[in-house]
Structure 1
Amino acid sequence: MTAETQPIRVDIVSDVVCPWCAIGYYQLAEAVRETGIGVDIRWHPFELNPQMAPEGENLREHLAAKYGTTPEGSRQARARLTEMGAALGFTFNYADDMRMYNTFRAHQLIGWAEEQGKAHDVKLALFAAFFTRREDVSSIDVLASVAAGAGLDGDTARAMLESGGRAEQVRAKEQFWTSRGVQGVPAMIFERQHLVSGAQGEENYASILQQLKAAQAA
Protein backbone atom coordinates (compact mmCIF):
# COMPACT_ATOMS: atom_id res chain seq x y z
CA MET A 1 0.00 0.00 0.00
CA THR A 2 1.41 3.38 -0.98
CA ALA A 3 1.52 6.54 1.10
CA GLU A 4 -1.25 7.89 -1.09
CA THR A 5 -3.65 5.19 0.10
CA GLN A 6 -2.29 4.36 3.56
CA PRO A 7 -4.92 5.40 6.11
CA ILE A 8 -3.94 7.52 9.10
CA ARG A 9 -4.05 5.42 12.26
CA VAL A 10 -6.09 7.00 15.05
CA ASP A 11 -6.20 5.34 18.47
CA ILE A 12 -9.13 6.79 20.44
CA VAL A 13 -9.24 6.36 24.21
CA SER A 14 -12.76 7.07 25.38
CA ASP A 15 -15.80 6.10 27.43
CA VAL A 16 -19.25 5.38 26.03
CA VAL A 17 -20.95 7.73 28.54
CA CYS A 18 -18.62 10.65 27.73
CA PRO A 19 -20.50 13.20 25.61
CA TRP A 20 -17.33 14.91 24.41
CA CYS A 21 -16.06 11.53 23.23
CA ALA A 22 -19.08 11.25 20.96
CA ILE A 23 -18.66 14.85 19.80
CA GLY A 24 -14.94 14.36 19.18
CA TYR A 25 -15.47 11.23 17.12
CA TYR A 26 -18.17 12.78 14.95
CA GLN A 27 -16.02 15.89 14.44
CA LEU A 28 -13.20 13.63 13.29
CA ALA A 29 -15.59 11.75 11.01
CA GLU A 30 -16.67 15.06 9.46
CA ALA A 31 -13.01 15.99 8.92
CA VAL A 32 -12.48 12.66 7.19
CA ARG A 33 -15.41 13.38 4.89
CA GLU A 34 -14.19 16.90 4.15
CA THR A 35 -10.59 15.92 3.40
CA GLY A 36 -11.14 12.52 1.83
CA ILE A 37 -8.26 11.21 3.95
CA GLY A 38 -8.84 7.70 5.20
CA VAL A 39 -8.39 6.74 8.85
CA ASP A 40 -7.90 3.45 10.67
CA ILE A 41 -9.66 3.90 14.01
CA ARG A 42 -8.84 1.73 17.03
CA TRP A 43 -10.99 2.14 20.15
CA HIS A 44 -9.52 1.82 23.66
CA PRO A 45 -11.22 1.74 27.09
CA PHE A 46 -11.37 4.45 29.71
CA GLU A 47 -13.84 4.54 32.61
CA LEU A 48 -14.98 7.95 33.80
CA ASN A 49 -16.57 6.35 36.86
CA PRO A 50 -14.96 2.99 37.62
CA GLN A 51 -16.47 2.96 41.13
CA MET A 52 -20.02 3.64 39.92
CA ALA A 53 -22.58 1.46 41.72
CA PRO A 54 -24.50 -1.12 39.66
CA GLU A 55 -27.73 0.86 39.84
CA GLY A 56 -26.04 3.98 38.51
CA GLU A 57 -26.75 7.56 39.58
CA ASN A 58 -28.98 10.37 38.45
CA LEU A 59 -26.93 12.28 35.89
CA ARG A 60 -27.57 15.75 37.30
CA GLU A 61 -26.84 14.60 40.86
CA HIS A 62 -23.72 12.83 39.66
CA LEU A 63 -22.38 15.92 37.89
CA ALA A 64 -23.18 18.11 40.88
CA ALA A 65 -21.33 15.79 43.26
CA LYS A 66 -18.35 15.19 40.97
CA TYR A 67 -17.85 18.59 39.36
CA GLY A 68 -20.00 20.98 41.37
CA THR A 69 -22.26 21.54 38.36
CA THR A 70 -25.34 23.61 39.17
CA PRO A 71 -28.79 22.71 37.78
CA GLU A 72 -28.64 25.72 35.47
CA GLY A 73 -25.11 24.85 34.42
CA SER A 74 -26.22 21.31 33.68
CA ARG A 75 -29.12 22.54 31.53
CA GLN A 76 -26.85 24.87 29.60
CA ALA A 77 -24.25 22.15 29.03
CA ARG A 78 -26.88 19.68 27.85
CA ALA A 79 -28.39 22.26 25.48
CA ARG A 80 -24.96 23.02 24.02
CA LEU A 81 -24.12 19.35 23.54
CA THR A 82 -27.53 18.69 21.98
CA GLU A 83 -27.00 21.51 19.49
CA MET A 84 -23.44 20.41 18.65
CA GLY A 85 -24.53 16.80 18.25
CA ALA A 86 -27.40 17.73 15.93
CA ALA A 87 -25.00 19.67 13.69
CA LEU A 88 -22.89 16.51 13.42
CA GLY A 89 -25.80 14.14 12.84
CA PHE A 90 -25.83 12.68 16.35
CA THR A 91 -28.82 12.86 18.72
CA PHE A 92 -28.34 13.69 22.39
CA ASN A 93 -31.67 12.99 24.06
CA TYR A 94 -31.13 14.31 27.57
CA ALA A 95 -33.78 14.20 30.30
CA ASP A 96 -33.81 15.29 33.93
CA ASP A 97 -34.18 11.68 35.10
CA MET A 98 -31.35 10.38 32.91
CA ARG A 99 -28.88 8.17 34.74
CA MET A 100 -25.12 7.64 34.57
CA TYR A 101 -23.95 4.02 34.52
CA ASN A 102 -20.87 1.91 35.08
CA THR A 103 -19.27 1.09 31.72
CA PHE A 104 -16.92 -1.79 32.56
CA ARG A 105 -19.10 -4.38 30.82
CA ALA A 106 -19.56 -2.10 27.82
CA HIS A 107 -15.79 -1.98 27.36
CA GLN A 108 -15.63 -5.76 27.63
CA LEU A 109 -18.19 -5.96 24.83
CA ILE A 110 -16.16 -3.60 22.63
CA GLY A 111 -13.01 -5.65 23.24
CA TRP A 112 -14.82 -8.84 22.31
CA ALA A 113 -16.34 -7.20 19.22
CA GLU A 114 -12.88 -6.04 18.14
CA GLU A 115 -11.82 -9.65 17.74
CA GLN A 116 -14.58 -9.99 15.15
CA GLY A 117 -13.95 -6.73 13.35
CA LYS A 118 -16.99 -5.04 14.88
CA ALA A 119 -15.55 -2.78 17.59
CA HIS A 120 -16.32 0.40 15.65
CA ASP A 121 -19.94 -0.57 15.00
CA VAL A 122 -20.47 -1.57 18.63
CA LYS A 123 -18.83 1.60 19.98
CA LEU A 124 -21.07 3.88 17.93
CA ALA A 125 -24.09 1.77 18.82
CA LEU A 126 -23.27 2.20 22.52
CA PHE A 127 -23.06 5.98 22.12
CA ALA A 128 -26.55 5.88 20.64
CA ALA A 129 -27.85 3.44 23.26
CA PHE A 130 -26.79 5.72 26.10
CA PHE A 131 -27.22 9.24 24.75
CA THR A 132 -30.06 8.82 22.27
CA ARG A 133 -32.17 6.05 23.84
CA ARG A 134 -31.01 6.57 27.47
CA GLU A 135 -30.46 2.84 27.97
CA ASP A 136 -28.59 1.21 30.83
CA VAL A 137 -25.23 0.37 29.24
CA SER A 138 -24.24 -1.67 32.30
CA SER A 139 -27.11 -4.10 31.63
CA ILE A 140 -26.20 -7.42 30.04
CA ASP A 141 -29.60 -7.43 28.31
CA VAL A 142 -28.92 -4.05 26.72
CA LEU A 143 -25.38 -4.98 25.74
CA ALA A 144 -26.44 -8.29 24.19
CA SER A 145 -29.05 -6.38 22.18
CA VAL A 146 -26.42 -3.88 21.02
CA ALA A 147 -24.19 -6.77 19.94
CA ALA A 148 -27.01 -8.37 17.98
CA GLY A 149 -27.83 -5.04 16.35
CA ALA A 150 -24.22 -4.82 15.17
CA GLY A 151 -24.46 -8.21 13.50
CA LEU A 152 -22.91 -10.27 16.29
CA ASP A 153 -24.44 -13.20 18.12
CA GLY A 154 -26.36 -11.82 21.08
CA ASP A 155 -26.37 -15.09 23.02
CA THR A 156 -22.61 -15.45 22.66
CA ALA A 157 -22.17 -11.86 23.76
CA ARG A 158 -24.35 -12.51 26.80
CA ALA A 159 -22.36 -15.59 27.78
CA MET A 160 -19.09 -13.67 27.41
CA LEU A 161 -20.34 -10.84 29.63
CA GLU A 162 -21.75 -13.20 32.25
CA SER A 163 -18.42 -15.04 32.44
CA GLY A 164 -16.41 -11.83 32.91
CA GLY A 165 -13.74 -13.40 30.75
CA ARG A 166 -12.67 -10.10 29.18
CA ALA A 167 -12.36 -8.22 32.50
CA GLU A 168 -8.60 -8.58 32.93
CA GLN A 169 -8.02 -7.61 29.30
CA VAL A 170 -9.95 -4.36 29.77
CA ARG A 171 -8.13 -3.54 33.01
CA ALA A 172 -4.78 -4.09 31.29
CA LYS A 173 -5.72 -1.79 28.41
CA GLU A 174 -6.94 0.90 30.78
CA GLN A 175 -3.70 0.68 32.74
CA PHE A 176 -1.67 0.89 29.53
CA TRP A 177 -3.17 4.23 28.56
CA THR A 178 -3.26 5.80 32.01
CA SER A 179 0.39 4.82 32.49
CA ARG A 180 1.13 6.82 29.35
CA GLY A 181 -0.46 9.95 30.68
CA VAL A 182 -4.05 9.69 29.49
CA GLN A 183 -6.07 11.13 32.38
CA GLY A 184 -9.07 12.49 30.49
CA VAL A 185 -11.03 11.65 27.38
CA PRO A 186 -11.40 11.79 24.50
CA ALA A 187 -7.71 11.27 23.82
CA MET A 188 -6.77 10.66 20.20
CA ILE A 189 -3.34 9.40 19.27
CA PHE A 190 -2.54 9.97 15.61
CA GLU A 191 -0.02 7.64 13.98
CA ARG A 192 0.97 6.28 17.42
CA GLN A 193 2.80 9.49 18.36
CA HIS A 194 0.66 12.65 18.28
CA LEU A 195 -1.66 12.91 21.30
CA VAL A 196 -4.63 15.25 20.94
CA SER A 197 -6.89 15.68 23.97
CA GLY A 198 -10.50 16.83 24.00
CA ALA A 199 -12.92 17.42 21.14
CA GLN A 200 -10.92 19.76 18.91
CA GLY A 201 -13.38 20.50 16.12
CA GLU A 202 -13.62 19.54 12.47
CA GLU A 203 -11.17 22.18 11.25
CA ASN A 204 -8.42 21.16 13.65
CA TYR A 205 -8.87 17.48 12.90
CA ALA A 206 -8.83 18.20 9.17
CA SER A 207 -5.58 20.14 9.59
CA ILE A 208 -4.01 17.29 11.56
CA LEU A 209 -5.02 14.75 8.93
CA GLN A 210 -3.69 16.91 6.10
CA GLN A 211 -0.36 17.45 7.86
CA LEU A 212 0.07 13.74 8.56
CA LYS A 213 -0.88 12.82 5.00
CA ALA A 214 1.68 15.33 3.69
CA ALA A 215 4.31 13.82 5.98
CA GLN A 216 3.49 10.34 4.62
CA ALA A 217 4.04 11.55 1.07
CA ALA A 218 7.27 13.43 1.84
Structure 2
Amino acid sequence: MAESSRVLEVFSDYTCPFCYFNMENAEKLAKEFNIPIRWRYYPLHSDVPDEGIALTELLDVPLSEVEKWDREFSRTAAQLGLPFCSLDKTYNSRLAQELGMWAADHGKGHAFHKAAFEAFFGQGLNLASKEVLLNIAEKAGLPLDEAEKIITDRTYQEAVDKEWEAAEAKAITAVPTMIFGENRLIGAKSWEQMTALVQAGLADQ
Protein backbone atom coordinates (compact mmCIF):
# COMPACT_ATOMS: atom_id res chain seq x y z
CA MET A 1 0.00 0.00 0.00
CA ALA A 2 1.42 3.39 -1.01
CA GLU A 3 1.86 5.92 1.77
CA SER A 4 -1.07 8.32 2.16
CA SER A 5 -0.53 12.03 1.68
CA ARG A 6 -2.66 12.56 4.78
CA VAL A 7 -1.27 12.47 8.29
CA LEU A 8 -2.84 10.81 11.31
CA GLU A 9 -2.74 13.49 14.00
CA VAL A 10 -2.98 12.32 17.60
CA PHE A 11 -3.43 15.00 20.25
CA SER A 12 -2.47 13.73 23.69
CA ASP A 13 -0.82 14.42 27.02
CA TYR A 14 1.49 12.23 29.09
CA THR A 15 -0.77 12.41 32.16
CA CYS A 16 -3.90 11.29 30.28
CA PRO A 17 -4.69 7.61 30.98
CA PHE A 18 -6.75 7.18 27.83
CA CYS A 19 -3.85 8.55 25.77
CA TYR A 20 -1.63 5.93 27.39
CA PHE A 21 -4.08 3.16 26.54
CA ASN A 22 -4.45 4.50 22.99
CA MET A 23 -0.74 4.84 22.16
CA GLU A 24 0.14 1.39 20.85
CA ASN A 25 -3.00 1.06 18.73
CA ALA A 26 -2.37 4.46 17.17
CA GLU A 27 1.14 3.38 16.14
CA LYS A 28 -0.21 0.03 14.91
CA LEU A 29 -2.86 1.84 12.87
CA ALA A 30 -0.28 4.02 11.16
CA LYS A 31 1.83 0.99 10.24
CA GLU A 32 -1.08 -1.13 9.04
CA PHE A 33 -2.38 1.57 6.69
CA ASN A 34 1.08 2.94 5.85
CA ILE A 35 0.17 6.46 6.93
CA PRO A 36 2.45 8.96 8.68
CA ILE A 37 1.57 9.66 12.30
CA ARG A 38 2.14 12.97 14.07
CA TRP A 39 1.92 13.07 17.83
CA ARG A 40 0.65 16.45 18.94
CA TYR A 41 0.33 18.02 22.36
CA TYR A 42 -2.59 19.33 24.35
CA PRO A 43 -2.45 21.41 27.56
CA LEU A 44 -4.20 19.02 29.94
CA HIS A 45 -4.19 20.62 33.40
CA SER A 46 -1.40 22.99 32.37
CA ASP A 47 -1.68 24.93 35.63
CA VAL A 48 -0.64 21.97 37.79
CA PRO A 49 2.46 22.93 39.83
CA ASP A 50 5.74 21.14 39.18
CA GLU A 51 5.58 19.50 42.61
CA GLY A 52 2.23 17.99 41.65
CA ILE A 53 -1.26 18.10 43.07
CA ALA A 54 -3.62 15.52 44.55
CA LEU A 55 -6.25 14.31 42.10
CA THR A 56 -8.95 14.90 44.70
CA GLU A 57 -7.98 18.58 44.83
CA LEU A 58 -7.45 19.01 41.09
CA LEU A 59 -10.73 17.39 40.09
CA ASP A 60 -12.70 18.34 43.20
CA VAL A 61 -13.88 14.78 43.84
CA PRO A 62 -13.82 12.52 46.92
CA LEU A 63 -11.02 9.99 47.39
CA SER A 64 -13.49 7.16 46.81
CA GLU A 65 -14.04 8.41 43.26
CA VAL A 66 -10.31 8.54 42.54
CA GLU A 67 -9.94 5.01 43.92
CA LYS A 68 -12.79 3.82 41.68
CA TRP A 69 -11.10 5.29 38.60
CA ASP A 70 -7.83 3.75 39.70
CA ARG A 71 -9.38 0.27 39.82
CA GLU A 72 -10.95 0.73 36.39
CA PHE A 73 -7.70 1.98 34.87
CA SER A 74 -5.75 -0.86 36.47
CA ARG A 75 -8.06 -3.42 34.85
CA THR A 76 -7.76 -1.75 31.45
CA ALA A 77 -3.97 -1.58 31.71
CA ALA A 78 -3.82 -5.26 32.67
CA GLN A 79 -5.95 -6.20 29.66
CA LEU A 80 -3.57 -4.26 27.40
CA GLY A 81 -0.45 -5.63 29.08
CA LEU A 82 0.66 -2.18 30.20
CA PRO A 83 2.33 -1.36 33.53
CA PHE A 84 0.13 0.65 35.88
CA CYS A 85 0.49 1.81 39.46
CA SER A 86 -2.03 3.38 41.81
CA LEU A 87 -2.06 7.14 41.32
CA ASP A 88 -3.44 9.74 43.70
CA LYS A 89 -1.45 12.66 42.30
CA THR A 90 -0.59 14.22 38.95
CA TYR A 91 2.21 16.48 37.75
CA ASN A 92 2.89 19.19 35.21
CA SER A 93 3.78 17.62 31.85
CA ARG A 94 4.94 20.75 30.04
CA LEU A 95 8.68 19.95 30.09
CA ALA A 96 7.97 16.36 29.06
CA GLN A 97 6.11 17.67 26.02
CA GLU A 98 9.02 19.92 25.09
CA LEU A 99 11.47 17.05 25.38
CA GLY A 100 9.07 14.80 23.46
CA MET A 101 9.07 17.19 20.51
CA TRP A 102 12.85 17.16 20.49
CA ALA A 103 12.82 13.35 20.64
CA ALA A 104 10.47 13.22 17.64
CA ASP A 105 12.80 15.49 15.67
CA HIS A 106 15.54 12.92 16.33
CA GLY A 107 13.46 9.93 15.23
CA LYS A 108 12.84 8.75 18.80
CA GLY A 109 9.31 10.05 19.27
CA HIS A 110 7.59 6.71 19.85
CA ALA A 111 10.33 5.45 22.17
CA PHE A 112 10.11 8.64 24.21
CA HIS A 113 6.29 8.57 24.36
CA LYS A 114 6.34 4.99 25.57
CA ALA A 115 8.98 5.69 28.22
CA ALA A 116 7.23 8.88 29.41
CA PHE A 117 3.82 7.23 29.71
CA GLU A 118 5.30 4.27 31.57
CA ALA A 119 7.27 6.54 33.90
CA PHE A 120 4.08 8.26 35.00
CA PHE A 121 1.47 5.52 34.82
CA GLY A 122 3.79 2.62 35.57
CA GLN A 123 5.84 4.22 38.34
CA GLY A 124 4.02 7.42 39.33
CA LEU A 125 7.10 9.56 38.63
CA ASN A 126 7.10 13.35 38.42
CA LEU A 127 7.31 14.37 34.76
CA ALA A 128 8.37 17.88 35.77
CA SER A 129 11.57 16.52 37.34
CA LYS A 130 14.76 16.96 35.30
CA GLU A 131 16.16 13.72 36.71
CA VAL A 132 13.06 11.79 35.67
CA LEU A 133 13.07 13.35 32.20
CA LEU A 134 16.72 12.54 31.65
CA ASN A 135 16.05 8.93 32.63
CA ILE A 136 13.20 8.83 30.12
CA ALA A 137 15.47 10.29 27.44
CA GLU A 138 18.11 7.66 28.21
CA LYS A 139 15.55 4.85 27.89
CA ALA A 140 14.52 6.30 24.54
CA GLY A 141 18.12 6.15 23.33
CA LEU A 142 18.72 9.89 23.29
CA PRO A 143 21.99 11.66 24.20
CA LEU A 144 21.80 12.86 27.81
CA ASP A 145 23.98 15.94 27.37
CA GLU A 146 21.73 17.22 24.59
CA ALA A 147 18.58 16.32 26.53
CA GLU A 148 19.77 18.28 29.54
CA LYS A 149 20.49 21.31 27.37
CA ILE A 150 17.02 21.10 25.79
CA ILE A 151 15.45 21.10 29.26
CA THR A 152 17.66 23.86 30.69
CA ASP A 153 17.44 26.18 27.69
CA ARG A 154 13.73 25.47 27.07
CA THR A 155 14.63 25.06 23.40
CA TYR A 156 11.21 23.70 22.45
CA GLN A 157 9.14 26.10 24.54
CA GLU A 158 7.88 28.02 21.52
CA ALA A 159 7.21 24.80 19.61
CA VAL A 160 4.94 23.52 22.37
CA ASP A 161 3.23 26.92 22.56
CA LYS A 162 2.38 26.49 18.89
CA GLU A 163 1.09 22.97 19.53
CA TRP A 164 -1.30 24.30 22.16
CA GLU A 165 -2.41 27.05 19.80
CA ALA A 166 -3.01 24.45 17.09
CA ALA A 167 -5.10 22.39 19.51
CA GLU A 168 -7.25 25.43 20.22
CA ALA A 169 -7.54 26.29 16.52
CA LYS A 170 -8.71 22.75 15.79
CA ALA A 171 -11.23 22.95 18.64
CA ILE A 172 -9.61 20.12 20.60
CA THR A 173 -11.33 19.94 23.98
CA ALA A 174 -10.38 16.45 25.18
CA VAL A 175 -7.65 13.89 24.68
CA PRO A 176 -6.88 11.64 23.03
CA THR A 177 -8.25 13.15 19.84
CA MET A 178 -7.31 11.48 16.56
CA ILE A 179 -7.77 13.39 13.31
CA PHE A 180 -7.47 11.95 9.82
CA GLY A 181 -8.72 13.96 6.90
CA GLU A 182 -11.98 15.65 7.84
CA ASN A 183 -12.89 13.13 10.52
CA ARG A 184 -11.93 12.74 14.16
CA LEU A 185 -12.29 10.41 17.12
CA ILE A 186 -12.38 11.70 20.68
CA GLY A 187 -11.46 9.55 23.65
CA ALA A 188 -10.33 5.94 23.92
CA LYS A 189 -11.93 4.03 21.04
CA SER A 190 -12.00 0.46 19.81
CA TRP A 191 -9.69 -0.82 17.10
CA GLU A 192 -12.70 -1.07 14.77
CA GLN A 193 -13.56 2.59 15.29
CA MET A 194 -9.97 3.62 14.69
CA THR A 195 -9.69 1.66 11.45
CA ALA A 196 -13.02 3.10 10.29
CA LEU A 197 -11.62 6.61 10.86
CA VAL A 198 -8.66 5.93 8.58
CA GLN A 199 -10.68 4.07 5.95
CA ALA A 200 -13.11 7.00 5.72
CA GLY A 201 -10.23 9.44 5.34
CA LEU A 202 -8.56 7.38 2.63
CA ALA A 203 -11.85 7.08 0.74
CA ASP A 204 -12.21 10.87 0.74
CA GLN A 205 -8.79 11.49 -0.86
Q: Assess same fold via TM > 0.5.
A: yes
| Pairwise CA distance, 1:120 | 1.6
Higher relative contact order (CA 8 A, sep 6+): 1
Q: Could you say if the C-alpha distance between residues 62 and 44 of structure 1 is closer, same or farther in structure 2, counting changes exceeding 3 Å? A: same
AA of the residue aligned to 2:85 = N
Once the two structures are TM-superposed, the CA of residue 169 in structure 1 deviates from its matched residue by 1.3
Q: In structure 1, what residue type is equivalent to 2:163?
A: K
Which structure 1 residue ranges, 5 or more long, are not aligned? Answer: none
Structure 2 residue identity aligned to 1:86: A
Where 2:7 maps in the other structure, the secondary structure is strand
Distance 1:89 1:51, change over 3 A: same
Task: Give percent identity, aligned residues only.
Answer: 26
Deviation of 1:168 after TM superposition, in Å, equals 1.3
Correspondent of 2:14 among 13, 16, 24: 16
Return closer, same or farther for 1:115/1:167 CA change in 2, 3 Å cut-off: same
What does residue 47 of structure 1 align with?
A: 43
| Distance (whole Å) between structure 1 residues aligned to residue 128 and residue 183 of structure 2 | 32
Cα distance change, pair 212–175 in 1 and its aligned pair in 2 (3 A):
closer
RMSD: 2.1
Give the match for residue 126 of structure 1.
116
Quick check: 1:199 aligned with 2:191? no
Where in structure 2 are the equivalents of 1:128-167 lying within 5 Å? 128-167=118-157
Q: Please say if residues 28 and 201 of structure 1, whose CA atoms lie closer than 8 Å, have aligned partners that are also in contact.
A: no
Task: Pick one of 86, 101, 122 that aligns with 1:94.
Answer: 86
- The answer as to whether partners of 1:28 and 1:202 remain within 8 angstroms in 2 is no
CA displacement 1:5-58 (0-9 Å, x = unmatched): 32573111110000011122244456678xx43442211111211111121112
- Relative distance call for 1:28 and 1:170 in structure 2 (3 A) is closer
TM-score by length of 2: 0.89
- Matches of 1:80 and 1:38, distance apart in 2: 33
Gaps of 5+ in 2: none
> Conserved in 2, the CA contact under 8 Å of 1:122 and 1:150?
yes
Count of aligned pairs between the two proteins: 204
The answer to whether the 8 A contact 1:26-1:88 is kept is no
**CA contact 1:13–1:186 (8 Å) conserved in 2:** yes
Q: Could you tell me how far apart the structure 1 residues matched to 2:79 and 2:199 are?
A: 23
